[in-house]
Amino acid sequence: MEILSRLNTKINFMKKLSYTLLIFVYTISSFAQSNSFTDKRDGKVYKTVKIGTQTWMAENLAFKALNGCLAYDNQLSNVSKYGYLYNWKTAKTVCPTGWHLPSKKDFGTLVVNYSGSDNINKVLLPGGRSGFSAQHSGCSNCYSSETFYGIGDYSYFWSSSTDGNEPWHMSIGNDNNNPIINVGNENSGFSVRCLKNN
């Protein structure tokens, strides 16, 4: 009887342990899901990050639009790391349902979260504490006579806002400490970071 009692005690302990592990695994998987988003259009999964009140994609958009987008250097191998470069017309419509192209004000809100930092760019780059993970994906037909420019050194992200004539964008470069929000030619190819709708 004593052996049977010990056996029942071990079985009950194992059941409780299994149940605890199951809850732990479920909690971890639920947490992981809250930090990713699957684009139903092509099944691509994007990391996401909440910064202040905003939820951003933590990767450049890599959805192949029918037109107005291209891979850096026309090499599809660049898309997995850097996403596509989009002209402004396409950028305004390419974010998936539930997400949108950020406005100039949205980018301003992002930057203000780290206004006390000596080097905001470093905070926004991969490995920085923001989790935004801005890849230096370069651009096409901008600030240079070259068709493609700046991969590894600069990031350019379209906004939905204009100054009345030209659209605004945010750039992050290795040669300065803070992002620059400026206007650019709507035919340039810049990256897109989608922002979740409130």
Residue 133 lies in a domain: yes
Task: Give mean pLDDT, residues 84-91.
Answer: 97
Residues 160, 86: one domain?
yes
Q: In whole angstroms, give the CA distance from residue 108 to residue 180.
A: 10
Q: pLDDT for 128-179, tens place per residue?
A: 999 999 999 999 987 666 699 999 999 999 999 999 999 999 999 999 899 9
Residues 11, 59: one domain?
no
C-alpha pair distances (Å), 12 with each of 2, 15, 20, 26, 38: 15, 5, 12, 21, 40
Task: Give mean pLDDT, residues 87-99.
Answer: 98
Q: pLDDT for 32-41, tens place per residue?
A: 234 999 999 9
Place of tokens 């230096």: 136
Residues 24, 65: one domain?
no
Residues 185, 88: one domain?
yes
Label residue 50 by pLDDT band (50, 70, 90): very high
User: Domain of 30?
Assistant: 1-34
C-alpha pair distances (Å), 30 with each of 27, 33, 55, 111, 175: 5, 5, 17, 29, 40
Residue 174 lies in a domain: yes
Residues 23, 117: one domain?
no
Q: In whole angstroms, give the CA distance from residue 125 to residue 131.
A: 8
Residues 81, 123: one domain?
yes
Q: What is the pLDDT of residue 24?
A: 33
Residues 29, 56: one domain?
no
**Global model pTM greater than 0.95:** no
Residues 57, 28: one domain?
no
Average of per-residue pLDDT values in the chain: 86
Q: Percent of the chain having pLDDT more than 90?
A: 77
Residue 40 lies in a domain: no
Q: In whole angstroms, give the CA distance from residue 178 to residue 198.
A: 27
Into how many domains does the chain fold?
2
Residues 61, 17: one domain?
no
Q: What b-and-e string marks burial along 14-38, b requiring 16 or more CB atoms within 10 Å of the CB?
A: eeeeeeeeeeeeeeeeeeeeeeebe
Residue 39 lies in a domain: no
